[in-house]
A and B are shown apart, each in its own frame.
Chain A
Amino acid sequence: MCAADSPLRLRVQFTKQGQARYLSHSEYARTLMISARRAGLPLEYAGTNMSRMKVSLSPPLPIGVTSDCELVDFNLTSYVPAAEACDLLGKATPDGIAPAKCRLMGPEAKPVGKVIDTAVFAAAFPETVGGGELEDAVERFSEMSTLPYQRVQPRRTRTVDIRAGVHGLEVVGETEGRVSLKMTVDDGIAGTIKPWEVVEVISGMAGIGREVWQQAEVNRTGLFSRRGDRLISPMDAGAGRSGAGRGARGVSY
């Protein structure tokens, strides 16, 4: 490690599986920060002598949902190779959370929390649910221009247009006898459609009972910035451009 010429941001893609899926967003954030401290990374803090780490996290994942793609930016005070950071983090994270990729970003890169607006989820239904009934519901859903959904939250209940927040929806092939619903939804700076809301609506349209669809296993497979019809991964954004720090330009692990 050596001093950085300019501020560095280490962008890490973590997976969140197993029992880690029961961690809330704040618990997960705390877990990552403690992991980064245990890894011995040269972390930047806000202010002097304050244990406030400069991090930026991707949008919250609902409790119980697993993920192949949770993104975090750690601000660093000195250069550390992405591969070394990945290795150090791998040893410091608890079971269920593991770094999949690391990349050094330049100072001009926006924090990950400010660029993500879209997520892709896959909801694997129980074996008792057939693809046909879901496909029909998906087709009818796609033909709609608007679909009000009552979102009940602890402090307020409001109506959102769930259709407007779903940008892609398809039933994907059966794996291990289970069909999955793949959905591309608003998630992040543009608003959030929760995967369970889509599962509930589609299941309702397909006549699938609550006790069945609640057994679906939901996994976030990707996080993106939407540019028209294109989905750009923050892990790839700006790849090959300058400013990624000495010796780390466009390199990811």
Chain B
Amino acid sequence: MNSTYPGSLADRLQPLLLRVERPSRYLGGEWNSPDIPAESTSVVFAYPDVYEIGMSNLGLAILAEVVNDIEGASAERAYAPWLDMEAEMRREGIPLFSLETKRPVASADIFGISIPHELTFTNVLNLIDLAGLPLRASDRTGGPIVVGGGCGVTNPEPLAAYFDLFVLGEGEEVIGTLVEMVTRAKSQGWGRMRLLEEASRLRGVYRPDDYLPEYADDGTLKEMIPQGGAARKVTKNLVDLDDWLYPSHPVVPFCEAVHDRLNVELFRGCTRGCRFCQAGMTYRPVRERTAGEVVKLVDQLAQSTGHDEVSLCSLSSTDYSRIADVTSRVAQVCEHRRMIMSLPSLRMDAMSAELASRLDRGGRGGLTFAPEAGSQRLRLVINKPIAERDMVDAVMFAVRAGRRRIKLYFMIGLPTETDEDVAEIAKLVFRLRDAVKAEKLTPPSFKVSVSTFVPKPHTPFQWCPQITGDEIRHRQDILKETLRARSVNLSWHDREMSKVEGLLARGDRRLGRMLENCWAAGGRFDSWSDHFDFERWMRAAADSGIDPDFYLYRQRRPDEVFPWDHLDFGVDKKFLLAELSRAMEATTTPDCRVAECSECGVCEGLAVEPVLKGSDS
């Protein structure tokens, strides 16, 4: 444990490590962890969950690589300490520290917090508090600037009071600019306010202080008023993947991370247009890496990490232009290096016998597919029109390739869903099983995971109500009754967690106080079912004068102003509304990769085009 850095807490941490679970979470010093120069513009990237989850986050690894490549700048990591460690740290007066140098996070220049989803919001507040910083941005007069980013900032409004800045979209370019600006600010003696003002002018940087919400009498948002000449909208950042570094020496943890493998990004963005999918809307347009680059990265990273599995990741990996070619070439690298290859986000209508045989040869795991809905009608509503024939084929390919486990993801609570649609989930699973039996093959075991649909901002379903807890229970009961078979294992999400997730997902700044109250009452690790306390959330809501039903179960007017409307992720609100209409008519919108432009507004609004380089070598 490195205690040579001025201000390092290493010596004070040592005694704590023997008193907590998994001390390796707090060690640092893993393979490929960078050497940090003592004097530099220092960025600490924090993830609001435990180390083994945070270490799987590719975004933070990419940003750290970018910062560490800047002369005179350094990036370190911090993760949410588990409850036992937090208690020890608070008892001993030890603030949140970085893993690399064990210096207090408060001594850094930039404190970047990744916000992956709504149920980490209390942990986000806890990170700021543990760092010893005033919780509210308006109370901070010194210390690092607190910057949020990641998937969770598509609607950061419930967190607005606690962050100095948010970065919308991809952070590679803007983090470099921000680091250079902070370096200049330090050398020229800028005050904090000037730094924040200058930073707020950078593309994709959203300073919540620059916008003042005004609410109508019915409780809806009337307007988000820009202050001091701020732009009417803040537009997300996009990068050309080829122009930016990809982590060539990613840190390899001592313990098993949740995604314990190499992650090589095939492409960003997705144009399939699934109407429930926030990432599919906000990460547009599609930008692919060349197949040659992907193969080269797999080989390099295998050498530099020692991992035995590589995941070719993206939002829908089988949509890569030359997926057969790239998987064939990566399979050769894997053969040579004794690795296995996996593809997350497999589409059932893009499976082939060839692909099934290449993935994870030896059958270490099963294969996972996401039909999302049981009935064809509902799959048309959500614009994921996978034909049942394709599903049967996908399962047959998997079984013939030796897979004995198939995991299927479904959602309940999708707009227009009926009890019959829910019952169709069970029927579909049994038809898939029977199709395998009909071929005189041993049917795999089916693990059916059913989550509750939560309407998300920037999607066509952002106007729709979420189903109530009673409805969730009723639909889950239908599945429990109908999906009974020895070879089928059914699991479902906690309906109360879905309720809190939905509340925060489309929340506004008024939810900040509720969030703070929940955190102050001990809210931590809410995405962990054994630590989630629904009653604590409801008490916090009541104490803050928040009516959750207003946010959860209300059908929004088509012209309603949303708390995230001033945050421009490229997709036009008119397009989203048109998509909602098409959904109600069960009409699909084709993928613009293969069909004509769907006029989502991204290419025109952001002056970009889809980049399909998969076929280039």
Contact = CB atoms under 8 A, between A and B. Distances in A.
A50 B306 contact: no
B364 A23 contact: no
Given A30-B254, A34-B252, A45-B338, A22 B23 contact: yes
B18 A63 contact: yes
Interface string B523-548: 00000000000000000000000000
Contacts of B339: 51
A130 interface: no
B255 interface: yes
A30 B256 contact: yes
- Chain A interface size, as a band, is 20 to 34
A27 B255 contact: yes
Nearest to B340: A51
B22 interface: yes
A31 B260 CA distance: 13
Contacts of B335: 49
B27 A51 contact: no
B605 interface: no
Nearest to A22: B23
Top 7 A-B residue pairs of the complex, sorted by shortest distance between their CB atoms: A51-B308, A38-B306, A49-B362, A22-B23, A37-B306, A34-B306, A50-B362
Nearest to A215: B15
Contact of A23 (B252, B254, B303, B340): B254
A19 interface: yes
Contacts, number: 66
B256 to A, nearest CB: 6
Interface stretch (A66-74, A78-86, A91-99, A165-173): A91-99
Interface string B1-38: 10000000000000001100011100101110000000
Nearest to B364: A50
B209 interface: no
Contacts of B309: 51
Given A22-B17, A34-B252, A51-B364, A92 B29 contact: no
By CB atoms of chain B within 10 A, which of A22, A37, A38, A47 has the most?
A22
B361 interface: yes
A18 B17 contact: no
B18 A64 contact: yes
A37 B301 CA distance: 12
A150 interface: no
B537 to A, nearest CB: 30
Interface of A: 18-19, 22-24, 26-27, 30-31, 34-35, 37-38, 43, 45, 47-51, 63-64, 92, 94-96
Interface residues of B, number: 27
Contact of B1 (A19, A51, A63): A19
A38 B31 contact: yes
A69 to B, nearest CB: 20
Interface of B: 1, 17-18, 22-24, 27, 29-31, 252, 254-256, 303, 305-309, 335, 338-340, 361-362, 364
Contacts of B338: 37, 43, 45, 51
A1 to B, nearest CB: 15
A72 to B, nearest CB: 15
B17 A49 contact: no
B24 A24 contact: yes
Nearest to A46: B362
Given A45-B338, A49-B340, A22 B306 contact: no
A94 B24 contact: no
B361 A94 contact: no
26 contacts: A19-B29, A22-B18, A22-B23, A22-B27, A23-B24, A24-B22, A24-B24, A24-B255, A26-B255, A27-B256, A30-B256, A31-B254, A34-B31, A34-B306, A37-B306, A37-B307, A38-B306, A45-B338, A47-B362, A48-B362, A51-B309, A51-B338, A51-B340, A51-B364, A63-B23, A94-B29
A63 B254 CA distance: 14
A50 B335 CA distance: 10
By CB atoms of chain B within 10 A, which of A24, A50, A51, A92 has the most?
A51
By CB atoms of chain A within 10 A, which of B18, B254, B256, B364 has the most?
B254
A92 B306 contact: yes
B365 to A, nearest CB: 11
B12 to A, nearest CB: 15
A27 B364 contact: no
B510 to A, nearest CB: 44
A232 to B, nearest CB: 32
A45 B364 CA distance: 13
B402 to A, nearest CB: 11
A95 B1 CA distance: 9
